[in-house]
Amino acid sequence: MTTKVIEHTQPSFSNLSDEQLIQQFVQGDRHAFDTLYYRYVKPIYNRVRYVIPETDVEDVTQEVFIAAAVSLPSFRGDALFSTWLRALTKNKVAEYYRKQSRKKETMQVDMEHAERLSGQSSTSNLEDRTALRYALNNLPKNYREVILLRFAEGMRFKEIANCLDQNPEATKSLFRRAISALQKEVEVKNE
Amino acid sequence: MNKHKNNKHKNNKHDIDDQLADFTDQILNVKSAKRDDDPFSPDPELRALKQTAQRLKNAFRDDDPSEKVIQRMHKKIAVQLQERVKTEPFWKKWIPSRQGWYSQRSRQQLRLALSLTAVLMLFLISIPQFIGASPDQPAASGQNINLGFMIASGGLLVLLAFLLLRRKQ
């Protein structure tokens, strides 16, 4: 996950590591959590945006950070905070679809939303986004993950390889197979 | 011959992997890729893959949330967290949560307190049996009760020891 310290945070916090910030937050300093929020909001928002319909992206992103604040005292530091937060995001996305078994429903909502916004942006682009989002959600987890890490979180292939505990060649091969599967999913949908 | 063919196929796939990865790096570094810029490649497989990557990039091109959205979400999160604290029922403070509102230490203390209470209650319940036991009563029933009590308290002590040991770890 790309980490950028944003100027909204208190200057004294911006140099602290994630672990130090977590410690400060657990001890009762809520500004430490603000710093974590500004550090991670963009990659989390982007990840959510690739798999959740436009109308609910903000809500789900908020839920991720609320869940993070609630669960941080039990964060044991076995994994990196960014990895933990990513896992939390995946859980929230899964919960979103599980809650109202929206997977099929959302497709419709998303299309309607695309139509409503057609005046503001190109309809075909929104339709394309909806179709791709739907196809992404139908991919096997490892394929979806490698695409999200590269496109939504902007990680380099080397970083993705580290994250997935693979060598770069294997990661690139996985990425190629993932894009190929996505292409097939989109074609199936179009037929 | 077959081996040679396999190796060639493998190398070809490897090349496609690399070229697709390079192409993706390229398009993600360009701020506004045009939709019509169909990536040219003589290999139809690679061309199709590049087109899909380009399509994905174009569809989600305005990636980052605006400052306004970031601030709005931040405010909502702060409000919701405050509301959570306000509306939390008082008894919840005493119940350990897997989600971790409470520290591990307080959970351990609660576990210890519950175990001690259970032992104490068992002891209080069994007192009348000891006081009421007289030499006139048939020995067999008294022995049965005492045996049951011993087993139960033994089990509880083992449980207590287990919890205490876990706490020390």
* pLDDT tens digits in sequence order for chain A, 191 residues long: 544 444 555 667 778 889 989 988 888 888 899 999 999 999 999 999 999 998 999 999 999 999 999 998 888 888 899 999 999 999 999 999 988 665 555 555 555 555 555 445 556 777 888 899 999 999 999 999 999 999 999 999 999 999 999 999 999 999 999 999 999 998 876 66
Distance (Å) of CA A159 to CA A156, A168, B15, B66: 5, 9, 20, 26
Task: Look at the pTM and tell me if it is higher than 0.80.
Answer: no
Q: Does B92 touch chain A (CB under 8 A)?
A: no
Pick from A38, A44, A50, A43: nearest CA to A2: A43
| Whole-number Å distance between alpha carbons of B66 and B68 | 5
**Which residue would you say has higher pLDDT here, A167 or B168?**
A167
Residue B133 has pLDDT above 50, yes or no: yes
| Whole-number Å distance between alpha carbons of A151 and A134 | 16
Task: Respond yes or no on whether ipTM tops 0.90.
Answer: no
First and final C-alpha spacing in chain B: 62
Do A50 and A133 form a contact (C-beta atoms < 8 A)? yes
| Burial category of B89 from C-beta neighbours within 10 Å (exposed 0-12, middle 13-18, buried 19 and up) | exposed
Nearest residue in A to B10, CA atom:
A173
Amino acid at residue number B80: Q
Determine the pLDDT at residue A170: 95
Pick from B25, B24, B2, B22: nearest CA to B14: B22
**Which residue would you say has higher pLDDT here, B4 or B157?**
B157
CB contact under 8 A, A172 and B101: no
Amino acid at residue number B120: L
Contacts of B63 in chain A (CB under 8 A): 46, 49, 152
**B81-124 residue pLDDT tens:** 888 877 766 555 555 444 444 455 566 677 777 777 877 777 77
| Whole-number Å distance between alpha carbons of A179 and A28 | 45
Do A72 and A22 form a contact (C-beta atoms < 8 A)? yes
**Smallest CA–CA separation between A44 and chain B, in Å?**
10
Do A86 and A1 form a contact (C-beta atoms < 8 A)? yes
Q: Does A158 touch chain B (CB under 8 A)?
A: no
CB contact under 8 A, A183 and B20: no
CB contact under 8 A, A42 and B49: no
The model's confidence at residue B53, banded by pLDDT at 50, 70 and 90, is very high
Amino acid at residue number A58: E
* Domains contained in chain A, CATH given: 1-99 (1.10.1740.10)
Query: In angstroms, how far apart are the furthest CA atoms of chain B?
Result: 105
Distance (Å) of CA A78 to CA A176, B12, B75, B102: 31, 40, 30, 19
Do A65 and A174 form a contact (C-beta atoms < 8 A)? no
CA angle A146, A150, A154 (to 5 degrees): 145
